[in-house]
Amino acid sequence: MNKKEELQILKDKMEADDSLPLRKGDTNLVFGVGDPEAKILFIGEGPGYWENLKMEPFVGNAGKFLDQLLKSIGMPRESVYITNVVHHRPPENRDPLPEEMLAYGKYLDKIINVINPEVVVTLGRFSMGKFLPTAKISTTHGKLFRVNWNGKDLFVIPMYHPAASLRNGEVMRQEKEDFLRLPDALKKISEKKKKKVPETEQMSLV
Ligand code: URA
């Protein structure tokens, strides 16, 4: 089975899962979009109004800015994979609750395992918290971390949420800079991957 087929099976399972806490009458599943073979997996927070309507992550204003950031490094949206920590729109776009992130998390974990990206780029504090629970976005954004996540050797770069950039010019400036460093981070990762991780290097900044 290829990755596209594996993702479709997961999506079908989610569609059928009545236990998902944010699933309400007219709320659509917003599973993920992009290339299943992508090297970079972006994880945002949760769908908003437009995402729910179009059943695709990051298609509103924050999504337009994300597209612009991707374009700045010559990576069209179709060349990466994009998903969220919760896959149904929270009411009034409120923050996802811990129990909601836990419920959707079991699917997100599977998405991560299927895509098996070179690097996970977290957008905002909720997805960052999944991998770097004690990190502070203001000091860690744009930095490359190597973590042992569920026994998996994973590279993670926390980034500001694009919506935060739209609200604050300085955050936007920093996020643009962080994105411009992504291609170099990918090169650094391929080098690092050739070396086995010593125990002490787990959860380290690289
Ligand atoms: N914000 C997110 O975190 N995810 C989306 O899909 C859209 C906006």
CATH value at residue 75? 3.40.470.10
Could you report the per-residue pLDDT of 164-199, keeping only the tens digit for each? Answer: 999 999 999 999 999 999 999 999 998 888 776 554
Mutate to test the pocket of ligand 1, among 22, 43, 45 (most ligand atoms within 8 A of CB): 45
pLDDT confidence of residue 8: 98
pLDDT confidence of residue 25: 83
Nearest atom (ligand 1) to Cα of 85: 3
Between 201 and 180, residue with greater pLDDT: 180
Instruction: Express as a percent the part of the chain with pLDDT over 90.
Output: 90
b/e burial code for range 35-48 (CB count within 10 A of at least 16 → b): bbebbbbbbbbbbb
Residue 139 lies in a domain: yes
With tokens 């990918």, the residue in question is 186
Contacts of 191 (CB under 8 A, 6+ apart): none
Q: Which residues line ligand 1 (CB under 6 A)?
A: 44-48, 51, 57-58, 62-63, 84
Averaged confidence pLDDT in the chain: 94
Residue 142 lies in a domain: yes
Report, as an integer, the average pLDDT of 146-173: 96
Nearest atom (ligand 1) to Cα of 123: 3
Say how many domains are in the chain: 1
The parent domain of residue 117 ranges over: 29-193
Residue 8 lies in a domain: no
